[in-house]
Every structure is written in C-alpha cells, then in structure tokens.
C-alpha cells in the first residue's frame, strides 16, 4: 500500500497489533505491526512532514492510540508502553464503522467535558490528513539543525553524560554535521564500552547506515548507539535488532 490511511482508519489495526503482541507493546512494536498488517510500502513508511520531519505513519498511529485511550480501549501506564484493555478486546468484535463511531463519540464526550481539549480542537484538521500545527519539538528540531558543529558536539556530549555515560570522547565529525565518538556506560555493577553516532539528518535513516555502523563497531565496543534528529525507517529498526548480529540502539 502506497497511500497512508487516516488516523480514524487505524483504530482496528492498532487494537489488533496490541492483541497480537500479547496485550501490550512498545510504540515501535505497534508501529511495525500496523505497517505489516496494512502492507505499507517503503515509500509510504519513508514519508515525513516537511516542517517537523516526523514520520507521517508514526504520527497517525500515535493519534489513533490517543483516541483509543480516550475511549478506554487502550491504556498508557508508562512512557512508551501501551496496553490493550478488556474493553479494547471486546471492541475487536465490532465492525470497522461501529468501532470508529464508538471511539469518536467517546472523544467528543471527553472534549465537551474539557479533557483532551487540544485533541478535540485538532480533530477535524487531522481527519483531513493535514499536517498538525507546529509543536515545541518542531522548534527544538529547528534549533538543533541550525547549531554550529561545535555547539552540537557539546550538546551531544552533555546529553550522553546526563544519561550516565563517562569518558565521552568525540573521535570525529561527519559530513552531515553530526559526530562520532565513544564512551563508557555503567549499569549497576557492569560497564559497557559504547560507540555512538549523532546524526543531524533531515531525511530518514535507512538500514545501510545501521549496517555500516555495525561493521565499524565490531571488535571495538560492546554496544552501539545511533542518535538522529530525523527518523529511522522500519527496515533500519529491523536491521538494528537482526538475529545473529550485535544489537544497536536507535534514538
């Protein structure tokens, strides 16, 4: 499929994804499962909004999850984790039009009550498939892309140190204004040598980048980390966790 369904056509695929994942799933797992269900083409998965560079598919699935939560069909007990409720399991027996109406009616009631008013206000714009209004993340992205290379380098070093890294060393700068480097991450009693790349890309990051990075880290580190101002394609995420190969974390 080359076209991307509107968010209100994704309620059932998201519920099916959560059911197939055992009743709960991380955002990336849900997105991948929905993409597989709908047989979305690589071209569709690579589409991003022009201003924010946010994945169009991921954004519409995110709105679908939010509406399902408002309807009581899904829960978000912690950051990045989504759970299928008993009401959500029951809703899978509904046909698509009835499910859509049930979710949207619940959203309207919540909007009238004042909760989730921002979502209620944006509902019609999203229903038309248009790009959402600028968010704080859009402004942050613009600042990151406009930074001088040395300022971006210092920011990345600080973020890594704030995340628990020590001995953060920048070994080189890449052509995209990003940096390469290494550090040590200590977790409880164990320390890991980590090689990282921080990439200031405006397009999506594909599997070739992940493969090349893995080749560069073999024999040099225990873990690999790629941080980007852009997004990763579904194939890149699959490559990062490919069986038989060292796993690479994507941020």
- In the chain, where the domains are located: 7-133, 139-250
Return the CATH class of domain 139-250.
Answer: alpha beta
Q: Average pLDDT, stretch 231-241? A: 86
- The mean pLDDT of the chain is 81
- Comparison of pLDDT for 241 and 229, the residue scoring more: 241
Contact 164, 156 (CB under 8 A): no
Whether 93 has a pLDDT exceeding 90, the answer reads yes
Enumerate residues 6+ apart whose C-beta is below 8 A from 178.
152, 197, 198, 199, 200, 201, 228
Residue 132: which residues within 8 A CB-CB, separation 6 or more?
A: 49, 59, 122, 125, 126
Which pLDDT score, from 0 to 100, does residue 61 have?
A: 92
pLDDT band with cut points at 50, 70 and 90 for residue 1: low
- Topology given in CATH for the domain delimited by 7-133: Arc Repressor Mutant, subunit A (1.10.10)
What pLDDT was estimated at residue 34? 93
How many residues in the chain?
251
Distance of CA 33 to the CA centre of its chain: 13
Higher-pLDDT residue of 244, 139: 244
Q: Return the top range by mean pLDDT from 68-72, 131-135, 200-204.
A: 68-72
User: Residue 117: which pLDDT band, with cuts at 50, 70 and 90?
Assistant: very low
pLDDT band with cut points at 50, 70 and 90 for residue 178: low
6 or 1, greater pLDDT: 6
Q: What is the pLDDT of residue 68?
A: 93
Lowest mean pLDDT among 1-5, 70-74, 83-87, 144-148: 1-5
Res. 118: pLDDT tops 80: no
Comparing 112 with 223, the larger pLDDT belongs to 223
Res 121 pLDDT > 50: no
How far apart are the two ends of the chain, measured CA to CA in Å?
A: 27
Instruction: Evaluate whether 121 touches 112 at the Cβ level (below 8 Å).
Output: no
Question: Could you tell me the sign of the dihedral formed by the alpha carbons of 154, 160, 161, 162, in that order?
Answer: positive
Q: Looking at residues 89-100, what average pLDDT do you find?
A: 93
């Amino acid at each position: 499929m080359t076209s991307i369904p509107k968010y209100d056509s994704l309620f059932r695929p998201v519920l099916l994804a959560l059911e197939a994942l055992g009743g709960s799933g991380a955002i990336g797992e849900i997105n991948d499962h929905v993409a597989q269900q709908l047989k979305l083409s690589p071209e569709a998965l690579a589409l991003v909004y022009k201003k924010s560079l946010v994945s169009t598919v991921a954004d519409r699935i995110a709105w679908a999850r939010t509406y399902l939560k408002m309807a009581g069909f899904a829960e978000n007990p912690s950051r990045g984790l989504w759970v299928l409720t008993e009401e959500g399991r029951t809703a899978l027996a509904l046909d698509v039009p009835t499910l859509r109406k049930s979710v949207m009616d619940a959203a309207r009631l919540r909007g009238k009550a004042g909760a989730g008013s921002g979502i209620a206000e944006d509902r019609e714009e999203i229903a038309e498939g248009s790009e959402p209004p600028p968010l704080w993340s859009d402004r942050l992205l613009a600042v990151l892309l406009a930074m001088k290379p040395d300022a971006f380098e210092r920011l990345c070093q600080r973020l890594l140190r704030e995340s628990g890294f020590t001995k953060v060393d920048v070994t080189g700068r890449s052509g995209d204004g990003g940096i390469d480097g290494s550090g040590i991450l200590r977790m409880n009693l164990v320390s890991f040598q980590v090689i990282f790349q921080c990439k200031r890309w405006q397009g999506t990051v594909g599997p070739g980048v992940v493969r090349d990075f893995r080749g560069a880290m073999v024999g040099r580190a225990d873990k690999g980390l790629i941080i980007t101002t852009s997004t990763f394609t579904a194939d890149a995420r699959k490559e990062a966790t490919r069986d038989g190969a060292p796993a690479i974390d994507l941020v």
